Structure 1
Amino acid sequence: MDIFNYEFFRNALMAVVLLSIASAVIGTYIVSRRLVSISGGVTHACFGGLGLGYYLSINPVVMAAVFAIASSLGVQWMSARHRVREDSAIAVIWAIGMAIGTLFIFLTPGYVPELNSFLFGNILTVTRGDLWAFLIFTLVLIGFMAAMYRNIVICAFDPDFARVRRLPVTFVTTVMTVLVAVCIVLTIRLVGVMLLMSMLALPQMTAELFVKRFGSIMRLSIGISLACSLAGLLLATVVNVPCSALIVLTMAGAYLVSWAIRRII
């Protein structure tokens, strides 16, 4: 229990709670729209922002956010206006982001000290400023979901029907796309570029084994994500390994156990 006396661990604990809620909500949306792959594309596109930020001596998180939002809107624009398949657009964004990041990190003088924390995650480096950013984003996300819940669900499952009903499809899709991008950037500090996709998909896959409605999946995903993230963080203090890997493995274990239970039932 002495670990709770350290501020960095309390910050990590609060960050896990906030990001578990945010990633579960965002994950439910992208799983419902069958856009899980976009999280991988945007995540790797963020790498370009990180490299450019280091090269220009600008906050790499801010540059990653710019790249994430631009790449998300770029995928949406190419698929909507130029009839490019979303998986093809995601592949292009993925490759360009990684190439730009690799180029500018190579050109950056000296060693890039925090690169591993973005690639693999380091929740213990979360600061009070990061927590305020997480909190503000989570409140904005929950507020928008509460205000536009019906429209978001209809646009996620049947955008053509939503257009017939004259619902604000473009507005809802654009705002949710930006929120997905911002969530990805904030979550990078938790699990890193390499493991982010699992956190945005595994809780929803587990929830779908038991419930089928959008709201039920979202609520159950929050519970699963929160329980697994807290378990992974606390377990990491015992076995002394990176908590990001334990969080994802805990979520994978929860899915396998749930799948086995459903098979038996």
Structure 2
Amino acid sequence: MNELFQYTFFQYALIGLAIISIASAMIGTYIVTRRMVSISGGVTHACFGGLGLGYYLGWNPVLTAALFAVASSLGVELMSVRGRVREDSAIAVIWAIGMAVGILFVFLTPGYVPELNSFLFGNVLTISRADLWAFALFTAVLALFFALFYRRIVAVAFDRDFAFVIGLPIGTISTVMTVMTAVCIVLTIRLVGIMLLMSMLA
């Protein structure tokens, strides 16, 4: 067993999982409290649309997936707040659209899409030094945001009406946390996959 720790890729995998678990714990606590557990599945499957579009256009699929993730998470927030649509219904819409768009563009992409399975099931052994820096930077920003606005985040998560009455910026906090959730999903989707990511955030 000790021989495994001599390999760099195994060390990176352990460090990456430790950092991801910290970020997932903070994000997961928030979305569970908001009763938005299904948003992890909705945004991850919406990312599939970005992956398909990226492969079809020949762009970096991670970047297009990030755009889809942020847009879909903000779309859920917008529909639930301004469109008077229940959050679970908005998530279901985003979920279906993302999967449909992804399947469409993967089908239209000529040839075989070689890395698609890695996004579906992940491969934690592919974590690189750049990935570790990205995880660490995101987790540091997330932890700083929680440290500065912890009481406001808790108030918005548990009782939005009370937070609105006492004058808290519920729109800003909800938007920032929604974007943070999307970024967390994008950073981890290729490493742990869509299936495991949903359970980590739930």
TM-score range, shorter chain: over 0.9
Residue 83 of structure 1 is matched in structure 2 by 84
**Any idea what SS the aligned residue of 1:112 has?**
coil
* 1:177 and 2:155 matched: no
Residue 70 of structure 1 is matched in structure 2 by 71
Residue 37 of structure 1 is matched in structure 2 by 38
Residue 193 of structure 2 is matched in structure 1 by 192
Alpha-carbon separation, structure 2, partners of 1:30 and 1:111? 36
* 1:102 and 2:103 matched: yes
Contact 2:126 2:191 in 1 (8 A): no
Contact 1:19 1:134 in 2 (8 A): yes
Residue 168 of structure 2 is matched in structure 1 by 167
Identity of aligned residues (%): 72
**Any idea what SS the aligned residue of 2:15 has?**
helix
Residue 130 of structure 1 is matched in structure 2 by 131
Alpha-carbon separation, structure 1, partners of 2:57 and 2:7? 34
Q: Which moved more, 1:79-88 or 1:136-145?
A: 79-88
| Count of matched residue pairs | 201
**Any idea what SS the aligned residue of 2:113 has?**
coil
Alpha-carbon separation, structure 1, partners of 2:13 and 2:114? 20
Displacement of 1:61 in angstroms is: 1.2
Displacement of 1:190 in angstroms is: 2.9
Q: Which moved more, 1:100-109 or 1:148-157?
A: 100-109
Alpha-carbon separation, structure 1, partners of 2:55 and 2:132? 22
Contact 1:187 1:196 in 2 (8 A): yes
Alpha-carbon separation, structure 2, partners of 1:111 and 1:128? 28
Alpha-carbon separation, structure 1, partners of 2:59 and 2:127? 18
Displacement of 1:195 in angstroms is: 2.3
Contact 1:16 1:190 in 2 (8 A): no
Residue 260 of structure 1 is matched in structure 2 by none
Alpha-carbon separation, structure 2, partners of 1:113 and 1:4? 29
Contact 1:45 1:97 in 2 (8 A): yes
Displacement of 1:64 in angstroms is: 0.9
Contact 1:23 1:200 in 2 (8 A): yes
TM-score w.r.t. the length of structure 1 is: 0.74
Alpha-carbon separation, structure 2, partners of 1:113 and 1:2? 31
Residue 119 of structure 1 is matched in structure 2 by 120
Residue 28 of structure 2 is matched in structure 1 by 27
Larger RCO: 1 or 2 (CA < 8 Å, sep 6+): 2
CA RMSD of aligned residues (A): 1.0
**Any idea what SS the aligned residue of 1:148 has?**
helix
Displacement of 1:58 in angstroms is: 1.5
Displacement of 1:111 in angstroms is: 1.4
Q: Which moved more, 1:180-189 or 1:24-33?
A: 180-189
Contact 1:126 1:189 in 2 (8 A): no
